[in-house]
């Protein structure tokens, strides 16, 4: 299973890179850091997206990583090649997640909203007696948003055990390194204290991602998973480099990247 | 002249929320959410049907996000709280998660204008229409009495769009005797000079124009989308006076002005409301009205000067 997922991940990264290079726009760094998480959700049997009546709900809160999601949706046959190829075109797929695209659950692009939305979905799921999951991938810089903390308190108080929050902890915001900030000192302490299913994992280890997400799915607590990741993961010169938040590779850089990903 | 009967009247909040309570009994998918505001007529909902009532605490951003998540899952959601807090504190959440997703969430802002006068500047809602009007999917209702409040409640329960309802508190003179929702009502027949007013300010205007014969008056209950019939009705009117308990920037006056310009309606427009200034002092609602010259005596003088 892990080998299969790794292969898929590399293909997703390659495809993202090809499209960004061709269209000359995109957020490669923060997309590559969460590709393995997205692949685990969609191909690792975690996200029950195919259920006809009550599928799990998934919101990519860090909407700027949308291209990886679109590549996956195309690969799964949920959107067409033509739609995917419209990325970057006027009136085509854009740089944030768009509800008008098949398989997309929620508009994102503004940060800090998705965990609260998941809380609402989780309420509905429990009220309807269905227990489908509300899953989101958040960026780590996004956790500065006060609304996320409001949601954490609410999910705790209302025991919304079907919420699974995954943080893509790549330690780089748009302009800064965020290794030692108060938010990430407090989050583990707070979540453990509040009784969440809290885990820190290597977000590029499929073995760990699968094990912990499967555990989260059956947990009777809300889940918060910090996935330690590398911004730009998979391409040596992009890894942990701030400039790859939204830079586009030159032809020479592209060739190096292809070699490393193939 | 419509009926003014205080005896059979009730608090506008009760008129509105009683309908929500009755609906909650029949509709298990109806859920009410508040940011810790107590409403007398909803206490029974909270006690009898705790699953259909969420107090999110003082956390408005989260309240809107939760509401949108619920609405996207087939639930009908009513939010209420003191107007400025459910509008300004969480505006981006409203714009993005309710409006851009076009979800059936109704936001009930209690205490429009300066009705929470004693609580000061933080509690006034005199720019709320401006910002809600800027959201394309948002519908705006501003009932003027308990009867219209009741029918606004029924409208939002039966419509699958985002709504902002500006709901006054307390007992106000009964103006209407509707048996269904009406988006506007001609209170005094249209004249060369006709007033458009909205919310409980309508009863002030009725008092102010009691002895003025040559003046028309329309109560605008649905501010957005603005009822276009009103433009036809005003075809032979030369002067339109808009009177509202809201800033003159962005309220009913601005909404009407935009539409009149768009439809080439040629009228002289007079806007009466709050100036575009912060209200930083404390006092009663009547005092604020006098300061802004929108109390009924000042209104009478202003109207007489215009006609």
Which CATH number characterizes residue A111's domain? Answer: 3.40.50.970
Tokens 């107590």 belong to which residue?
B38
Q: What is the pLDDT of residues A142-179, one digit of tens each?
A: 999 999 999 999 999 999 999 999 999 999 888 888 88
The yes-or-no verdict on residue A132 having pLDDT over 70 is yes
Answer yes or no: same fold for B12-167 and B184-306.
yes
Average per-residue pLDDT for chain A? 95
The yes-or-no verdict on residue B6 having pLDDT over 80 is no
Chain B contact probe: residue of A107, A116, A125, A129 with most B CBs at under 10 A: A116
- When the candidates are 1.10.10.60, 2.60.40.10, 3.40.50.920, 3.40.50.720, the CATH number that belongs to B184-306 is 3.40.50.920
The yes-or-no verdict on residue B160 having pLDDT over 60 is yes
Angstrom distance (rounded) from CA B202 to CA B219? 6
pLDDT, average across residues B37-47: 92
Domain extents for chain B? Answer: 12-167, 184-306
What is the pLDDT confidence band of residue A180, given thresholds at 50, 70 and 90? confident
What is the pLDDT confidence band of residue A186, given thresholds at 50, 70 and 90? very high
Q: How much is the ipTM here?
A: 0.93
pLDDT, average across residues B16-27: 96
- ω before B286 within 30° of 0 (cis)? no
Angstrom distance (rounded) from CA A37 to CA B21? 44
pLDDT at A126: 94
pLDDT at A262: 83
Q: Identify the domain containing residue A257 by its residue range.
A: 2-261
pLDDT at A123: 97
Interface touch B70/A121, C-beta < 8 Å = yes
Side-chain half-sphere of B213: how many Cα atoms within 13 Å?
0
Residue numbers in B near A124 (CB within 8 A): 69-70, 73-75
Phi, psi of A46 (to 5 degrees): -85, -55
Q: What is the pLDDT of residues B169-213, one digit of tens each?
A: 999 999 999 999 999 999 999 999 999 999 999 999 999 999 999
pLDDT at A131: 84
Chain A contacts in chain B segment 84-123 (CB below 8 A): 92-93, 96-97, 100-101
Q: What is B189-247 written as a DSSP string?
A: ---SEEEEE-TTHHHHHHHHTTT--S-EEEEE-EEES--THHHHHTTT-SEEEEEEEEE
Interface touch B66/A113, C-beta < 8 Å = no
Q: Do A72 and A38 touch, CB atoms closer than 8 A?
A: yes
pLDDT at B8: 64
Interface touch A154/B51, C-beta < 8 Å = no
pLDDT at B235: 92
Residue numbers in A near B66 (CB within 8 A): 116-117, 119-120, 123, 151, 154
The yes-or-no verdict on residue B126 having pLDDT over 90 is yes
Q: Do B101 and B72 touch, CB atoms closer than 8 A?
A: yes
pLDDT, average across residues A7-27: 94
pLDDT at B279: 93
Number of structural domains (chain A) is: 1
The yes-or-no verdict on residue A105 having pLDDT over 60 is yes
Q: What's the CATH fold of domain B12-167?
A: Rossmann fold (3.40.50)
DSSP for residue A143 = G
């Amino acid at each position: 299973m892990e080998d299969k997922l790794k292969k898929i991940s590399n293909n997703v990264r390659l495809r993202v890179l090809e499209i960004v290079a061709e269209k000359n726009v995109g957020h490669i760094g923060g997309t590559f850091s969460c590709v393995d998480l997205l692949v685990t959700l969609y191909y690792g049997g975690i996200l029950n997206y195919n259920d006809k009546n009550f599928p799990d709900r998934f919101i990519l809160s860090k909407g700027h990583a949308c291209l990886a999601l679109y590549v996956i949706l195309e690969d799964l046959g949920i959107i067409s090649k033509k739609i995917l190829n419209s990325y970057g075109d006027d009136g085509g797929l854009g740089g944030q997640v768009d509800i008008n695209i098949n398989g997309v659950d929620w508009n994102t692009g503004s940060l800090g909203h998705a965990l609260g939305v998941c809380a609402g979905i989780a309420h509905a799921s429990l009220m309807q007696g269905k227990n489908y999951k509300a899953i989101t991938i958040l960026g780590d810089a996004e956790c500065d948003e006060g609304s996320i903390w409001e949601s954490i308190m609410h999910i705790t108080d209302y025991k919304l055990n079907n919420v699974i929050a995954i943080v893509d902890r790549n330690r780089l915001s748009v302009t800064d390194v965020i290794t030692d900030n108060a938010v990430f000192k407090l989050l583990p302490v707070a979540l453990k204290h509040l009784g969440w299913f809290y885990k820190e994992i290597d977000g590029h280890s499929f073995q760990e991602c699968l094990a912990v997400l499967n555990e989260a799915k059956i947990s009777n607590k809300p889940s918060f998973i910090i996935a330690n990741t590398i911004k730009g993961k998979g391409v040596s010169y992009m890894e942990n480099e701030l400039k790859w938040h939204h830079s586009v590779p030159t032809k020479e850089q592209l060739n190096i990247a292809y070699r490393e990903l193939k | 002249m419509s009926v003014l009967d205080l005896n059979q009247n009730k608090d506008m909040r009760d008129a509105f929320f009683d309908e929500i309570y009755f609906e909650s009994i029949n509709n298990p998918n109806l859920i009410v959410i508040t940011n810790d505001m107590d409403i007398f007529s909803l206490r029974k909902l909270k006690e009898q049907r705790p699953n259909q009532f969420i107090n999110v605490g003082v956390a408005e951003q989260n309240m809107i996000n939760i509401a949108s998540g619920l609405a996207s899952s087939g639930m009908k959601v009513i939010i209420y709280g003191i107007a400025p807090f459910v509008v300004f504190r969480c505006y981006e959440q409203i714009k993005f998660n309710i409006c851009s997703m076009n979800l059936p969430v109704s936001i009930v802002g209690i205490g429009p204008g300066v009705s929470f006068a004693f609580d000061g500047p933080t509690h006034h809602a005199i720019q709320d229409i401006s910002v809600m009007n800027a959201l394309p999917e948002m519908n705006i209702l501003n009932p003027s009495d308990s009867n219209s409040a009741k029918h606004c409640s029924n409208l939002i329960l039966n419509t699958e769009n985002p709504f902002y309802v500006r709901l006054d508190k307390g007992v106000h003179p009964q103006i209407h005797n509707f048996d269904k929702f009406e988006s506007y009502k001609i209170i005094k027949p249209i004249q060369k000079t006709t007033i458009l007013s909205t919310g409980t300010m309508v009863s002030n205007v009725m008092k102010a124009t009691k002895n003025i014969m040559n003046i028309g008056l329309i109560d605008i209950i649905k501010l957005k989308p603005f009822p276009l019939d009103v433009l036809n009705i005003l075809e032979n009117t030369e002067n339109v006076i808009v009177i509202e308990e809201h800033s003159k920037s962005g309220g009913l006056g601005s909404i009407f002005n935009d539409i009149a310009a768009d439809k080439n309606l040629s009228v002289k427009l007079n806007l009466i409301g709050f100036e575009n200034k912060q209200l930083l002092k404390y006092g009663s609602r009547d005092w604020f009205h006098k300061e802004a010259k929108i109390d009924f005596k000042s209104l009478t003088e202003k109207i007489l000067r215009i006609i």
